[in-house]
Amino acid sequence: MSFLDTVRGMKFFDMHVHMTSRTTDDYQAMADAGIVAVIEPAFWLGQPRTGVDSFRDYFASLVGWERFRASQFGIRHYCTIGLNSKEANNEALAEQVMEILPLFIYKEGVVGVGEIGFDDQTPAEEKYYRAQLDLAKEAGLPVQIHTPHRDKKQGTSRSMDIALEHGLDPGMVIVDHNNEETVKEVLDRGFWAGFTIYPFTKMGNERMVEVVKQYGPERIMINSAADWGISDPLALPKTASLMKERGISDETIRLVTFENAVTAFAQSGQISLADFEQPIDIDQSQRYNGSSVLRGGQAPRVDKSSTIIK
Amino acid sequence: MNSPALSDTLLDLIRQQPDAEKAVAYLTQQADAYRNQPTTAVFYRVFTAIPRFVGKQTIRISPEQAQEIQSLRNGFTVEGWSLDRLARVWWLLQLPADDPAVYVSTIENLFKAAEMNELAALYSAIPVLSFPEHWRFQATEGVRSNMSPVQDALMLQNPYPAEQLDEPAWNQLVMKAFFCDKPVEEILGFEKRTNETLARIAVDYAHERRAAGRTIPPQLWTLVKPFVTEANRAELEGLLRTHGAAGAPV
């Protein structure tokens, strides 16, 4: 049986996915698999940017074009805006990016400051991580923290220490990319714990099932972090299917794949559970009324198995 | 055009919307604060924050009010707008225009950092901005947009393009509107600004649609009609007047 059959009727909120790096086929497949909303954290595009205008255009695309593109597939698109840790190391540029962040963090659909935190754990990374925590606090926005691949456990602890030092309520902070080694401390200290199902470098979903069995659903949320690497935008529905097969309750699955993320990011005032009761009618009509993704007159759905293209 | 009068009229219209007390209080308070301390930071912040304070419901407007707006700015209409869009356009009218360079760069920076609804408001405001000739390139950027609410704000029920765009830019707007299935009858100046080049492009487009086995929009005829000659009448009527949306004679 296909995982799609197992999860039919469920809805999912992928609270970390980089749709800028994905295709319309992904959007279609995600919508078909029950993904109704996504958060796209601002991140590193695979190579460093050389000027502030590149950041400006990227941020503008997250609140503009990408949001619209998602809506055409019936998917609500939110984002978090921030200077990622890798590019914080270019201090001259980082200063200029910090100057334009206030232009974006109050926009519609911006549900937090993110993804920020440590990559290499350099002094420059720390400096801009701290500055952005202050910005989030001032704006009353949640923070989405990227935890490092290397020296992960200590980097995660340190990220939380600094957030507390800046007076953030742990309930306003989502610590992402957890694993078996970091989760206990994150939950014990009252932070939200994000888990990324991403082959080879982050979590596998069988491990995820065990984590949920051990810790329960409270303050845990799952994402795909799908991007330009070998990753899977259907990680959420696949993991939900596996959890169901392995005896985890529907209610727990709903919390860790949908509701906890809504609850955490609803603190931005830009998103609420009630939003999801409303179909996105306007976007459905836009879908037929013309855009470059689904040009006017073209059937909005194409049969992928057919060799005929009309 | 008379900006202070238009600004007053738009604020009155906001005031008359159901449950608008909070919106009006916010807007007048911010306008006072901005007059006392006219910094671009305040101007940008309010422009972005407007939906949070005024809401997004569709506005109500009487025929008399619509008429009054038309008398202040010919062709300008706010019907069908959401309240946040109306409030943002009103807010743009609060920007002092005494220094053209500052005025223009302030608004251009709003365009650069705008999300979709902000872009729709900015393009809706283009006909009431100062220095009308300055916004010609920006208007063509609106035509190039991929987001349909943004395209609509510039292309439909907006007097600016017909007044300011040169012929190539106008023709591009009209054909993009067809290409995106817009209700082209809502393009102001649609009939009046047709031209020989546009008529030729429209005929080519109809041929292309026919070759692809797609329907031919009946409104193309409006563009072509003034340039029909006795020599090509039969052919064009055959192409454009008998291949309407339903395939039935128009």
A300 lies in some domain: no
A303 lies in some domain: no
Contact B181 A65 (CB under 8 A): no
Q: Is the pLDDT of residue A283 over 80?
A: no
Whether B96 and B167 share a structural domain: yes
Nearest to A297 among B113, B117, B181 (CB): B181
B183 lies in some domain: no
B139 lies in some domain: yes
Q: What is the pLDDT of residues B38-76, one digit of tens each?
A: 999 899 999 999 998 999 999 999 999 999 999 999 999
- Which CATH number does the domain housing residue A22 bear? 3.20.20.140
Residues of B in contact with A291 (CB under 8 A): 146-148, 180
Report the pLDDT value the prediction gives residue A292, as an integer from 0 to 100. 43
Range(s) of the domain holding residue A172: 3-288
B182 lies in some domain: no
Q: How far is B224 from chain A (nearest CA, A)?
A: 22
Q: Which of B173, B202, B226 is the last residue of a domain?
A: B173
Distance in angstroms (rounded) separating the CA atoms of residues A225 and B72: 52
Residue B215 at interface with chain A, using a CB cutoff of 8 Å: yes
Share of chain A above pLDDT 90, in %: 86
Contact A103 B48 (CB under 8 A): yes
Band of the pLDDT at B166, cuts 50, 70, 90?
very high
A93 lies in some domain: yes
B178 lies in some domain: no
- Among A226, A216, A209, A220, residue whose Cα is nearest residue A261: A220
Nearest to A64 among B114, B214, B215 (CB): B114
Q: What is the number of alpha carbons within 13 Å of residue A148 lying toward its C-beta?
A: 22
Whether B226 and B118 share a structural domain: no
Residues of B in contact with A141 (CB under 8 A): none
Report the pLDDT value the prediction gives residue B242, as an integer from 0 to 100. 62
A264 lies in some domain: yes
Residues of B in contact with A76 (CB under 8 A): none
Residues of A in contact with B41 (CB under 8 A): 102
- Per-residue pLDDT, averaged over B184-191, amounts to 97
Residues of A in contact with B30 (CB under 8 A): none
Range(s) of the domain holding residue B221: 194-250
Residue B88 at interface with chain A, using a CB cutoff of 8 Å: no
Q: What is the pLDDT of residues A133-178, one digit of tens each?
A: 999 999 999 999 999 999 999 999 999 999 999 999 999 999 999 9
Q: Is the pLDDT of residue B243 over 90?
A: no
B233 lies in some domain: yes
Contact A56 B112 (CB under 8 A): yes
- A and B: number of Cβ contacts within 8 A: 70
Band of the pLDDT at A304, cuts 50, 70, 90?
confident
Question: Do A221 and A264 touch, CB atoms closer than 8 A?
Answer: yes
Q: Which residue in chain B has the smallest CA separation from A297?
A: B181
Whether B50 and B82 share a structural domain: yes
Q: Is the pLDDT of residue A289 over 70?
A: no
Residues of B in contact with A71 (CB under 8 A): none
Report the pLDDT value the prediction gives residue A305, as an integer from 0 to 100. 76
How many domains, in total, are found in chain A? 1
Contact A293 B146 (CB under 8 A): yes
Distance in angstroms (rounded) separating the CA atoms of residues A109 and A4: 29
Contact B113 A65 (CB under 8 A): no
Q: Is the pLDDT of residue A274 over 90?
A: no
Residues of A in contact with B55 (CB under 8 A): none
B186 lies in some domain: no
Q: What is the pLDDT of residues A64-121, one digit of tens each?
A: 999 999 999 999 999 999 999 999 999 999 999 999 999 999 999 999 999 999 999 9
- Per-residue pLDDT, averaged over B107-117, amounts to 95
Contact B113 A64 (CB under 8 A): no
Distance in angstroms (rounded) separating the CA atoms of residues B159 and A294: 28
A56 lies in some domain: yes
- Per-residue pLDDT, averaged over A19-26, amounts to 96
Q: Is the pLDDT of residue B217 over 60?
A: yes
Neighbours of B43 (CB within 10 A): 21
Distance in angstroms (rounded) separating the CA atoms of residues A114 and A213: 29
Q: Which residue in chain B has the smallest CA separation from A310?
A: B212
Residue B179 at interface with chain A, using a CB cutoff of 8 Å: yes
Question: Do B155 and A265 touch, CB atoms closer than 8 A?
Answer: no
**Average confidence score pLDDT of chain B:** 93
A132 lies in some domain: yes
Contact A290 B44 (CB under 8 A): no
Residues of A in contact with B112 (CB under 8 A): 56, 60
Distance in angstroms (rounded) separating the CA atoms of residues A111 and A122: 27
Whether B76 and B144 share a structural domain: yes
- Among A166, A167, A184, residue whose Cα is nearest residue A175: A184
Q: What is the pLDDT of residues A193-250, one digit of tens each?
A: 999 999 988 899 999 999 999 999 999 999 999 999 999 999 999 999 999 999 999 9
A85 lies in some domain: yes
Residue B245 at interface with chain A, using a CB cutoff of 8 Å: no
Whether B112 and B145 share a structural domain: yes
Q: How far is B116 from chain A (nearest CA, A)?
A: 5
Whether B228 and B142 share a structural domain: no
Q: Is the pLDDT of residue B173 over 80?
A: yes
Which of A108, A278, A310 is most worth mutating to test chain B (most B CB atoms within 10 A of its CB)? A108
Distance in angstroms (rounded) separating the CA atoms of residues B161 and B188: 8
A301 lies in some domain: no
Whether B211 and B158 share a structural domain: no
Q: Which residue has the higher pLDDT, B126 or B2?
A: B126
Q: What are the Cα distances from residue A170, in Å, to A99, A143, A254, B131?
A: 26, 10, 23, 50
Residue B56 at interface with chain A, using a CB cutoff of 8 Å: no
ipTM tops 0.85: no
- Per-residue pLDDT, averaged over B125-132, amounts to 98
Q: Which residue in chain A has the smallest CA separation from B42?
A: A103
A interface with B, Cβ–Cβ below 8 Å: 56, 59-60, 63-65, 67-68, 100, 102-104, 106-109, 269, 286, 288-293, 295-297
Report the pLDDT value the prediction gives residue A201, as an integer from 0 to 100. 86
Which of A103, A275, A284, A285 is most worth mutating to test chain B (most B CB atoms within 10 A of its CB)? A103
The DSSP secondary-structure symbol of A111 reads E
Both structure tokens of B92: 């743009």
Whether B212 and B139 share a structural domain: no
Whether B237 and B126 share a structural domain: no
Which of A58, A107, A110 is most worth mutating to test chain B (most B CB atoms within 10 A of its CB)? A107
Question: Do B81 and B59 touch, CB atoms closer than 8 A?
Answer: yes
Q: Is the pLDDT of residue B145 over 50?
A: yes
How many domains, in total, are found in chain B? 2
